[in-house]
């Protein structure tokens, strides 16, 4: 079969490699450079290596409990059962996970895990190492790579996906395929504060929505608790708290224990809300204290964080650093079965873009790289029997009509991406109210109605963000009870910037 994989994080790279090794003709398309996106930024690791007393069953139980009752047990079972094979595969493909002096894998612990079962690479550079190894494999495989292409839409005919339309070098190009695997990640750029790169504008989810694929659980947006409270946002891995760092209020008190007996290692949504509330109450960011770990251990275990925080003027070995929550991960997305199949024939999804059911209302730390590897491989395996017929490119070069240009000017007067991001942060973020959600939805709908037919890459991204913002606010409004990352308050929910 001719397969298009869009996206080059862990899910896309894995899917492309597996599909190619299974004999499919694979074209891997990516928005930026090969191996860009969220994966190389991932500090935290891959969950799923079990020491004494631990097992896939216990990992499944932790995953289900973080998911607040909304994770799908069958999907979680697949995740933890396939996990060991995928981690072994990553090692075989050249990923150098950190090891103890005796050669065994070093296991770390993160929030809401009952055991140390997380492997890292380069201390806090796990995603970068995975990306490096998989990109090297893709470069050597019989995979055509198209970089710097923007996914405009899925090509749908007769209720089936037959390829993609992309924007490349200023023109529209159609790429036909027997099946498309979307692995374009989430939509962190919906929010004023995010750990996601600038390209995380939800292009794949928006294309799937327009094509009529089932998209679900968008109201479940995970906010990472600890991002350096200085711009640009920089993640301070949960593994830092896993090693013993504490969260302190203005009086030096470990305030998260007021919200949960596990304190700093409580589920992410609980820690994030506790931080947001405390920061609002004291009028400034809370502090993450890692000083007890000492300079030597901090630089050895977290070399990237150590370097970047120092570059930003913080010496975390000597004093606590200010942290804030930021949008990190989308639990919802394109609804898939256990093999990555979407509701639309010919369309598969894997990684953050997919709603496989493994995360429910709140993802367990370090389950996302694992999910990308597991479901990227499963989607490729489900593609069907290989064929060898080559399919041609078709190109369309379109220009803006005068009418579209006029509408574009209207939008520029009324819309800015920053305005949307602040609106989402204030009303569709960590702490929500029904009134705030309704207000946000009204504003988003008005902005969408005033929007132009997108032509440039930035306009396509804005249109995608607006579409997903509408779907997210609408889904959040429909869910009238708090669960996991979707948290309704009765009091005013604005938590400030």
Q: How far is CA 446 from CA 9, 361, 411, 435, in A?
A: 34, 29, 11, 17
Stretch that binds ligand SIN, among 149-157, 363-371, 411-419, 440-448 (CB under 6 A): 363-371
Catalytic option among 86, 117, 241, 268: 268
Give buried/exposed letters for 141-166 (b at 16+ CB in 10 A, else e): bebebbebbbbbbbbbeeeebbbbbb
131 binds ligand SIN (CB under 6 A): no
184 binds ligand SIN (CB under 6 A): no
Cβ 7 vs Cβ 353: under 8 Å: yes
Quote the tokens at residue 197.
């790169």
Instruction: Please name every residue paired with 182 in a beta bridge, in sequence order, or none if there are none.
Output: 6, 349
Q: How far is the CB of 365 from ligand SIN (least distance, A)?
A: 4
Please identify, using beta-carbon distances, which residue of 167 and 374 lies nearer to ligand SIN: 374
Stretch that binds ligand SIN, among 32-40, 63-71, 98-106, 364-372 (CB under 6 A): 364-372
Give the residue, chosen from 175, 365, 423, 466, that forms a contact with ligand SIN under the rule CB under 6 A. Answer: 365
Stretch that binds ligand SIN, among 298-306, 360-368, 419-427, 469-477 (CB under 6 A): 360-368
**Three-class SS state of 172:** strand
43 binds ligand SIN (CB under 6 A): yes
362 binds ligand SIN (CB under 6 A): no
Quote the tokens at residue 274.
């506790």
Please identify, using beta-carbon distances, which residue of 87 and 365 lies nearer to ligand SIN: 365
Please identify, using beta-carbon distances, which residue of 330 and 365 lies nearer to ligand SIN: 365
366 binds ligand SIN (CB under 6 A): yes
368 binds ligand SIN (CB under 6 A): yes
Identify residues 148-177 at the interface with ligand SIN (CB under 6 A): none
76 binds ligand SIN (CB under 6 A): no
Residues with Cβ within 8 Å of 144's Cβ and at least 6 positions away in sequence, in order, are 26, 27, 28
**Three-class SS state of 99:** strand
Stretch that binds ligand SIN, among 2-10, 237-245, 282-290, 452-460 (CB under 6 A): 237-245
For residues 289 to 328, the per-residue mask of contacts with ligand SIN, x marking binding by CB under 6 A and - elsewhere, is ---------------------------------------x
Give buried/exposed letters for 436-468 (b at 16+ CB in 10 A, else e): bbeebbebbeebbeebbebbebebbbbbbbbbb
268 is catalytic: yes
Whole-angstrom distance, CA of residue 217 vs CA of residue 332: 4
Which value, in Å, is the radius of gyration of the alpha carbons in the chain?
A: 22
237 binds ligand SIN (CB under 6 A): yes
Instruction: Give Dmax over CA atoms of the chain in angstroms.
Output: 69
Quote the tokens at residue 192.
């004023």
Cβ 495 vs Cβ 279: under 8 Å: yes
238 binds ligand SIN (CB under 6 A): yes
Binding residue count for ligand SIN, defined by CB under 6 A: 9
**Three-class SS state of 334:** strand
What residues are annotated to the active site? 268
Binding site for ligand SIN (CB under 6 A): 43-44, 237-239, 328, 365-366, 368
């Amino acid at each position: 079969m001719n397969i298009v994989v869009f996206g080059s994080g862990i899910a896309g790279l894995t899917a492309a490699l597996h599909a190619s090794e299974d004999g499919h003709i694979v074209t891997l398309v990516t928005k930026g450079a090969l191996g860009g996106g969220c994966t190389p930024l991932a500090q935290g690791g891959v969950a799923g290596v079990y020491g004494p007393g631990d097992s896939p069953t216990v990992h499944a139980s932790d995953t289900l409990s973080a998911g607040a009752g909304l994770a799908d047990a069958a999907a979680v079972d697949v995740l933890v059962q396939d996990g060991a094979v995928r981690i072994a595969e990553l090692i075989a493909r050249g990923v150098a996970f950190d090891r103890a002096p005796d050669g065994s894998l070093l296991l770390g612990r993160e929030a809401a895990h009952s055991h140390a079962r997380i492997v890292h690479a380069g201390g806090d550079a796990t995603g970068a190492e995975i990306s490096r190894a998989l990109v090297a494999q893709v470069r050597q495989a019989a995979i055509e790579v198209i970089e710097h292409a923007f996914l405009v839409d899925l090509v749908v005919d007769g209720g089936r996906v037959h390829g993609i339309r992309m924007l490349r070098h200023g023109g529209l190009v159609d790429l036909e395929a027997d099946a498309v695997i979307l692995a374009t990640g989430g939509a962190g750029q919906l929010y004023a504060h995010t750990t996601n790169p600038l390209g995380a504008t939800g292009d794949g989810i928006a294309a799937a929505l327009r094509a009529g694929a089932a998209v679900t659980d968008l109201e479940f947006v995970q906010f990472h608790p600890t991002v350096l409270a200085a711009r640009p946002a920089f993640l301070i891995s949960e593994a830092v708290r896993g090693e013993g760092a504490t969260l302190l209020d203005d009086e030096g008190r470990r305030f998260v224990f007021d919200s949960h007996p596990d304190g700093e290692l409580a589920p992410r949504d609980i820690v994030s809300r506790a931080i947001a509330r405390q920061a609002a109450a004291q009028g400034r960011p809370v502090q993450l204290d890692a000083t007890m770990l000492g300079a030597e251990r901090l630089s050895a275990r977290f070399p990237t964080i150590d370097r970047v925080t120092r570059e930003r003027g913080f010496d975390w070995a000597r004093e606590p650093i200010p942290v804030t929550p930021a949008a990190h991960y989308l639990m919802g997305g394109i609804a898939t079965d256990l093999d990555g199949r979407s509701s639309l024939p010919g369309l598969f999804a894997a990684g953050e873009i997919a709603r496989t059911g493994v995360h429910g209302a709140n993802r367990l730390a370090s389950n996302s790289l694992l999910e990308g590897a597991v479901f990227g491989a499963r989607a490729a395996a489900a593609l069907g029997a290989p064929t060898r017929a080559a399919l041609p490119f078709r190109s369309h070069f379109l220009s803006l009509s005068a009418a579209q240009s006029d509408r574009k000017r209207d939008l520029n007067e009324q819309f800015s991406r920053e305005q949307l991001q602040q609106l989402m942060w204030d009303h569709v973020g960590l702490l929500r109210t029904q009134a705030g959600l309704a207000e946000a939805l009204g504003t988003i709908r008005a902005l969408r109605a005033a929007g132009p037919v997108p032509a440039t890459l930035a306009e396509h991204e804005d249109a995608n963000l607006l579409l997903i913002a509408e779907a997210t606010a609408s889904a959040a409004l429909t869910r009238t009870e708090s669960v996991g990352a979707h948290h309704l308050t009765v009091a005013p929910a604005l938590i400030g910037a």
